[in-house]
Amino acid sequence: MLDVTTATVSDRKALRINPAKTCQPIGAMYAALGIHSCMPHSHGSQGCCSYHRSHLTRHFKEPVAATTSSFTEGTSVFGGMANLQQALVNIFSIYDPEVVAVHTTCLSEVIGDDIPTIIKKSREEGKIPDGKIVIHANTPSFVGSNVTGFSNMCTGIVSYLAEKSGLSNGSINIFPGWLDPSDMRELKRLADALTVPFTLCPDTSDVLDLPQTGVYEMYPKGGTPVASIKGMGDAIATLALGEFTAYPSAQKLLDMHAVPFEKLDAPIGLTNTDNYIDALRRLGDVEVPAWIDAERGRLLDVISDIGQYFHQVPVAIFGDPDMVVGLTRFAIELGLYPKYIFTGATGRAFETRIKELLGDKYPDTVVRHGADLFELHERIKGEPVKLIFGNTYGKYIARAEDIPLVRFGFPILDRVGHRMFPVVGYRGAMHLVEKISDALLNHRDRTCAEEWFELVQ
């Protein structure tokens, strides 16, 4: 399919071919699902909402509910206030959520709908029932990415809901960034183990990884309760796990309610998980249980068992920036050689952070933000790698060049299990080591000469 791609890197300033990102509303919709009893609402056309829902549904293999303002040609001329107000009446009367989280689309942004004013007017006119909440985030698809959409909605959650009573509740806020439900569950497991009071927001565990009971629940038990979000202003500190998805909401909470925060990378791999555990230990003034140290030791044992197969193996990594930053550090810890590190999101901060991790040990590594998979393929054609880390869209390059693909990040549309098995924490790192070693050694078994086909590796 991609045989026409050449090894010459084309100079393209305006054109992106297969960009390594998707649009803002998808991120906003996912963040909203992390609030308990919340209905995401797409202020735009039906087609936009259908695409965003289906993309999330295909990744999580769970039905994703969301509503839309159903723009028509007339709405595009006269504005979307009437549509949004009618939508709010319908949503609260039919679906009865506690929260409606409105995110904008290209069309509503271009015509200039003032969402805060519409929400205010709807409440004054009684279209929002007493005790119900409407929040919003601006997420036009013509700028940013799914990462900025997620971040903008998280900031909106803090802006609308976080309060400060003046009395500390002794809790720690954890902004996890964009992670799968299994990862959020693992973050909570580790925090629970340290007996630290905490609020994780947003939290999609028990929302998009439900057990099969035969009964559909529109609002499952999962998601961060509104009462817990309101109490975030009384926390002693915040942990922001990711510069691109978590830092902005932590900064907003600092600006609003003077809650200090610490910046950490997503806890992928050994060092990043160490940093997460240590931050909880310090802030909570607690001891780390012996069994967590043992779990860490098992990860080290797994790495030492398989490490000889990873030494200086060149790899390509692409995806959302916070996930790529975390995985890059882990790749270095494993002894892999990160040859290409790409993200479709824009921002020099990504390149700066990656180069801090690489130091001067990897002088020929290509680091790109605002990049696309066509350029990645061109570069791999010129200087091949032995492993690709990325989402489902990397399978075309992997097939064309016969390179193993370790599926990682969002979206994964052609496999199952990723929403159930974490990649964060020590257990998640062990799971990643297994996936990496399986991919490399399976490829070796399939392609090696007959005399090198060994029973024991």
Domains with residue ranges and CATH for the chain: 24-161 (3.40.50.1980), 172-287 (3.40.50.1980), 293-451 (3.40.50.1980)
pLDDT score of 2: 60
Can you list the residues of the chain whose pLDDT is less than 50?
Answer: 1
Catalytic status, residue 110: yes
Give the DSSP H/E element, type plus range, for residue 379: helix 373-382
State the pLDDT at residue 73. Answer: 83
261: helix, coil or strand?
A: strand
Q: How many CB atoms lie within 10 A of CB 198?
A: 20
Burial status of residue 40 (CB atoms within 10 A of its CB: 0-12, 13-18, 19 or more): buried
pLDDT score of 245? 96
Distance CA 353, CA 357 (A): 7
456: left (phi over 0), alpha (psi -120 to 50) or beta: beta
Residue 201 annotated as catalytic: no
For residue 40, whether the previous peptide bond is cis, meaning omega lies within 30 degrees of 0, is no
Of the candidates 287, 322, 303, which has an alpha carbon nearest to the alpha carbon of residue 194? 287
Catalytic residue among 38, 64, 106, 385: 106
CA 71 to chain centre: 29
